[in-house]
Structure 1
Amino acid sequence: MSDFFLFSISLAVTVLGLVGSWAAARRRGAASGLRGAAWSLLPLGAYLTGLTKFLVDLAFSPLKWAGVIVLGLGAVLYMTSGVMLRRGGGAKAGSDRAEAGRGGAPKAAPKSGGKAAVEGRKTAVDPDLAEIEEILKNRGIS
């Protein structure tokens, strides 16, 4: 796009915004008018700094869009790894060593050998849980 065309569009949007800001200032007060004027000056400022040309080149360039997508993917992967590390999901190999350092091998899954009667049916229960269940039953809590 030519520079003259970009300048014309930026200037037109700025002038329309300033007219709307003046109307807003008369209707809703000076604070609303100043806020509108601030937003209205952005298109002209973007043109004068070269940001408009950059954005136009970005919008019509597949190579630059590929770069934006790659940067976005990198950011998503980085944030995902941070969440995984915070939850402890990313430290599989280190967790076994940490448990071994705390007092032995990692705990094994409970075996289905211990069975307890619960309301007339048999279910597989961890021996520790069966003991707690028995204590609760003896105290009248079920």
Structure 2
Amino acid sequence: MPDFNDLTLLPFCVGLTLLGLIGSWFAWRRRGVAAGTRGVAWSLLPVSLYLTGLLELVWDVVRSTVSWVTHLIFSPTVWAGVALFGVSVVLYVVSGVARGRGGNQKAEKSLKAQNKPASPAGELTATGPAPASASTAKAAKPSKGKAKQQDSSEFDEIEDILKRHGIN
């Protein structure tokens, strides 16, 4: 891409500003004060960008972006990097889905249950005293199969939590 210097940028910006001001004058006459004022505001931008040095910055950004895009399109190494990035994103999403389904949670729960010491009724624990009625209720219920026992133990845990917080 060509590189512009100050001698080409200044006349270009002044020309754009003059064209914009002429268009703003016509807009002012045909569509009113608001359209004309907005046109003047847009017309002053090229010269203001030139005077602040931002026009060269914008030009450099555009030139660098075009160079990067052409390098991206024609480089097999870059396409390999894009493919690896895609694989990385897919693997990250898959791991999040697997984590949400509880892939490792079952093993963690069984380890916690095995390592957790049973506290006698009335003993203080980190969550408060264990209710005496919960341990006797669990012991008094007969086992009606694995699924029924698991459901009842979950409900017993919920009842215990509610009792500890004073909710009956």
The alignment's TM-score, normalised by the length of structure 1, stands at 0.48
Which of the two has greater helix per residue? 2
Larger Rg: 2
Higher relative contact order (CA 8 A, sep 6+): 1
The alignment's TM-score, normalised by the length of structure 2, stands at 0.41
